[in-house]
Structure 1
């Protein structure tokens, strides 16, 4: 049975890393003494060790040890044997590239379908849908495919922002970009606002966090989704 948290962000304004999710994360990993952190999304400027240490500092509060996936000689084997996995944010193109290069994507998908507790934030959430094509990130590297885990039936647009009616900016809004995606693709898209997340248990998906989300489907007007079943 699938057991996931798919969150828009790791940190909300005025808060510390993952603090707003501490109760949910504690419940998700309640049977875990050790989890694997996937640091692949972070571009240059911060090492995988340094990024893993940020995650480890938070999980120490709930008595869970964290090891970075980069520390394993055989990442695919490590994922198959993992008791829990957290994938952090950064650049989704880089994350997908590294997951494919290290042959981790398929083992991770299979493990999630077998019940592996999984937490994703930002880029780590973008890879939960059928494809990563609705990320906000720049294509700094070219992954072998845009196909991702497909453990939920929606693509994610993390950090979703509504148009600002007072802004003089004339560029495309997030809504415009997602509508462009739907001129070529049929996958539904959920725009997750900051501080919101999807709780996935089996085939049940629930929007949590006290915010609405934006649902986009090809050929239909966007809909606001209230907290609750999706």
Structure 2
């Protein structure tokens, strides 16, 4: 049984860090009291600082955060993890470090065997087949764009409908349409801020106050709402 909680963003405007998803995270973890945290998307602050930032929030529901950067054997840490949590930041740096430590298959096998996985922003991107629908700048170069492939679709976190006055560049929707020209057989979920996807007990749900926007080559973009059937994303 695969268990995933894929969150668009860590922080809503005007809220504290991990405020909006904290109740869902606590409920999702249940009786688990220790998680393995992957902080490698951090760029402008240290892994220790990132671990502490997440620990401050997770302490509210009695969960210890153990960052993988403390472990000399990353694969063993993954194999022994009760749950895996992947934080946001720069997706290219995150994936490059994941590849350098050679834990792609270890994480994939662990999660597909039932270990809970939580990711936000970049952490949701790497749950997909590739990171090609991230919003981040390629500040470093991974070996490939291939990620954990825990789901069959792509996620675009922080999805925005906005087309600001005076902006003549591509909208987010147009960027996704470009991606689909190159990879026409995959769905892309535009996951708006404050929302998340949860797969648990063979039930797949959108959670949050906003709909998600679904893209597929040859189909008009459409909105799906909490409670709608999302099983088509696994086709």
Q: Distance in 2 between matches of 1:215 and 1:205?
A: 15
> Which stretches of structure 1, 4 residues or more, deviate above 3 A after TM superposition?
none
Q: Which residue of 1 aligns with 2:99?
A: 100
CA distances 1:163-192 after superposition (whole Å, capped 9, x unpaired):
33x612001111000000011102210000
Q: Which residue of 2 aligns with 1:75?
A: 74
The DSSP-based 3-state class of the residue aligned with 1:20 is coil
Cα offset, 1:31, TM superposition: 2.2
CA distances 1:117-170 after superposition (whole Å, capped 9, x unpaired):
111000000111111101001111111111111111210100000033x61200
Give TM-score, length-normalised by structure 2. Answer: 0.94
Runs of at least 5 residues in structure 2 that lack an aligned partner in the other structure: 231-235
Cα offset, 1:9, TM superposition: 0.3
Cα offset, 1:95, TM superposition: 0.7
Query: Compared with structure 1, are the counterparts of its residues 139 and 202 closer, same or farther at alpha carbon in structure 2 (3 Å cutoff)?
Result: farther
Runs of at least 5 residues in structure 1 that lack an aligned partner in the other structure: none
Question: What's the C-alpha RMSD, in Å, of the aligned pairs?
Answer: 1.1
Q: Distance in 2 between matches of 1:217 and 1:73?
A: 42
Q: Which residue of 2 aligns with 1:118?
A: 117
Q: Distance in 1 between matches of 2:203 and 2:93?
A: 30
Structure 1 residue 220 corresponds to structure 2 residue 203: no
Q: Distance in 2 between matches of 1:59 and 1:213?
A: 27
Q: Distance in 1 between matches of 2:125 and 2:202?
A: 18
Q: Which residue of 1 aligns with 2:233?
A: none
